[in-house]
Structure 1
């Protein structure tokens, strides 16, 4: 089945370039040239992935990202942005984006990242057996991508789910940010290190009673993060 990608980008040349390469890779591509059109398409149709420019006329990418996440926790979102300031990139990730690329960027690398996302989704959906992982009060169903803590359902993005599942499989093991970046996102470039930090913060906000004093995902200062192996 052909994967569908929504490209929300106001620069026509960039949109055409991205669309050309995505179609060449076998994907169905729909383009929206401003935030209002992009938001409408994002909320009224089902997409396998959304490519979202941060700086859009009428409605910006951050607001689109927030509204999409309120309605869908499953659709992967990649931000495409010319903004290089760290706070703005972090804001995008905190709004619910799974990843970001900065302009100018390699279209071939972008397509490779999208392929990697779809590959992980396919592997997960093709599994026949139901795998349930329990860690303390957290229950993760790998097949259905359902998660709960203390019996309460969690609304996790695909990357948040993958990250939590990865931690739950290795309680007590300390992972450096770079390791998480490579394992979950497939990157080897430390420039995306804040991708990890933002996802950890978002995950803590959803699973912890007190995110400032986390019970599940612990910070090992100067090293990285680990999942608590002393849960009752």
Structure 2
């Protein structure tokens, strides 16, 4: 019921997760990033505790594979879970428990990993990885291109209703955290539309947080 990817941009050091599902509010439970540390996606009969656990393990100095190995050791009902991780060096690892739902599979590339369950076919994660690696520009653009590629390759066995994209850079909060929690239309395109609006304003919002005096106009009445 879910397909996703985790990725690191080698040029900027940004981390990102993008995810889509037939379930509501998928990104609220499944997408986790931390600046300078890594990104984790936890899915398939989701245990949201595994996301923060994975980031803490990465921050402690473990690599992606060591982190996944430790999650597999610590997690309850690990046989039902699917967890993806990318570390600060761009290394990736995936755990897919044998009780993952329906057609499930995974794929890896340079700085990117994708996994899914209840898929239309077993080529969807490979298409997601290929879509990410073929795209250029901001990691947000590449994450969306990857998810579009996964959807074009078949996506889920049924319709997707929610999606999300989270990006971490230098700050303790996400650089972007965009969600479509439910729609009868395409949630990936809803995220893409929100990204086109938000992307040009990202730096301004960071500056407003760090130093409002240096920030650009807020664009509201009375603002000078």
The TM-score bracket by the shorter chain reads under 0.3
TM-score, normalised via structure 1 length: 0.26
Greater share of helix residues, 1 or 2? Answer: 1
TM-score, normalised via structure 2 length: 0.27
